[in-house]
Amino acid sequence: MSQVLAGNDAAFAVLVERYKNYVFALIYPILRNRDDAEDAAQETFLKLYRSLAQYSQGSFKSWLGRISINTAIDMKRKRERLGENLLGNLPDRYSIPEPSAEEKVVEDELFLEDLCCGLPESFKRVVYQYYVQEKSCREIAIEQGVAVRTVESRLYRSRKLIKEKLREGRQNGTL
């Protein structure tokens, strides 16, 4: 561990190799998707590397476990927030260093806008208000002067069309 803290990249690679299965075993039950769990494990080791200076010589395995679980929970919340659990797995668009929170929001909005391209205007409006403005179906219904079931139906149909678009994009290699 002292070599890793001294900045020895080879020692860090050995550390990753030693703990990768442990990290994956902690993350997978939270995300329940192999690809997402692998992404979260990779992100865990990146976070670990960036925060090595903060390590206080306590139980390394516990510290790594906490980073792993927090990373998985963050990923799950983000996926649910963006509706990915309904839209399928979205491509990983993050690079190192991570963009700022504002850049992420703009990037997510642009990606959502691209996905909504071709949807009827009423569907786009509902998707934008629900996912970006974080409004409830009831609030959207009141603003648009329609029934709550109409808003729910538009969200459902939008998700279905976006899922189709994602599937086609993956098959054609455009996503």
Residues 6 and 72 in one domain: yes
Q: What six digits make up the tokens of 167?
A: 């599937």
pTM for the full predicted model: 0.46
- Domains in the chain, number: 2
Residue 68 banded pLDDT, cuts 50, 70, 90: very high
Mean pLDDT of the chain: 80
Q: Give me the CATH number covering residue 34.
A: 1.10.1740.10
Q: What pLDDT score was predicted for residue 162?
A: 83
* 87 lies in some domain: no
